[in-house]
């Protein structure tokens, strides 16, 4: 058995629930994994299948186009020749599908922009308060408290 763990983003069709000929439901979707080879970006596509009922029931709504996922499972490779061309298909039977709560490379800036926009929209609805400055000919009245000076404090009140 060849085990693999990789990350990537779900392809255009998102996840689909299908049924085997025997009536067993499963989830199928494609994941694009980007890597760099000799300073060139290379994209590999993996067809992912999961028979896990938890994924089918609880995660199918999250597994949509562009969602960042981390997949672990068994790797199967199939080579086909069609019209003189060689096609290599990589299939993964997933044992784990993780959907992290953080965003992956490049999304941080988009996330910051979304937060700034949200703050700006929130601030538009708030009233702003600026304190009024007194006119030059007005004088402020100072509140003073008559506190006893140290000489006026009787020695009898000291606790020691």
Q: How many residues does the chain have?
A: 160
Most confident of 11-15, 117-121, 124-128: 11-15
**Domain span including residue 91:** 3-109
Q: Would residue 127 count as lying in a domain? A: no
Q: Which residues contact 45 (CB under 8 A, 6 or more apart)?
A: 11, 30, 31, 32, 33, 90
Phi, psi of 64 (to 5 degrees): -115, 170
Asked whether the predicted pLDDT for residue 46 surpasses 70, the reply is yes
Q: Please give the average per-residue pLDDT across 78-100, as a whole number.
A: 90
Asked whether the predicted pLDDT for residue 11 surpasses 80, the reply is yes
Q: Would residue 84 count as lying in a domain? A: yes
pLDDT category of residue 130 using cuts at 50, 70 and 90: very low
Q: Would residue 158 count as lying in a domain? A: no
Q: Please give the average per-residue pLDDT across 104-128, as a whole number.
A: 50
Lowest mean pLDDT among 27-31, 76-80, 141-145, 154-158: 141-145
- Residue 94 maps to which CATH number? 2.40.50.140
| % of the chain beyond a pLDDT of 70 | 62
**Higher-scoring residue by pLDDT: 142, 74:** 74
| % of the chain beyond a pLDDT of 90 | 39
Q: Would residue 105 count as lying in a domain? A: yes
**Higher-scoring residue by pLDDT: 61, 154:** 61
Q: Would residue 119 count as lying in a domain? A: no
Q: Would residue 121 count as lying in a domain? A: no
How confident is the model at residue 136, as a pLDDT? 60
**Higher-scoring residue by pLDDT: 58, 49:** 49
Q: Which residues contact 88 (CB under 8 A, 6 or more apart)?
A: 77, 78, 79, 80
Instruction: Report the number of distinct structural domains present in the chain.
Output: 1
Q: Would residue 78 count as lying in a domain? A: yes
Q: Would residue 156 count as lying in a domain? A: no
How confident is the model at residue 159, as a pLDDT? 59
The angle at the Cα of 34, spanning 28 to 38, to the nearest 5 degrees, equals: 150
């Amino acid at each position: 058995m060849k085990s693999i763990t990789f990350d990537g983003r779900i392809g255009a069709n998102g996840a689909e629930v299908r049924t085997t000929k025997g009536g067993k439901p499963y989830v199928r979707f494609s994941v694009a994994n980007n890597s760099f080879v000799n300073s060139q970006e290379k994209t590999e596509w993996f067809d992912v299948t999961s028979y896990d009922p938890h994924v089918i029931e609880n995660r199918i709504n999250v597994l949509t186009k562009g969602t960042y996922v981390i997949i672990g499972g068994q790797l199967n490779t199939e080579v086909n020749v069609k019209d003189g061309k060689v096609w290599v298909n990589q299939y993964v039977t997933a044992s784990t599908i993780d959907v992290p709560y953080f965003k992956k490379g490049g999304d941080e800036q988009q996330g910051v922009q979304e937060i700034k926009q949200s703050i700006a929209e929130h601030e538009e609805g708030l009233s702003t308060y600026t304190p009024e400055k007194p006119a030059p000919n007005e004088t402020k009245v100072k509140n003073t408290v008559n506190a006893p000076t140290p000489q006026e404090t009787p020695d009898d009140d000291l606790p020691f």
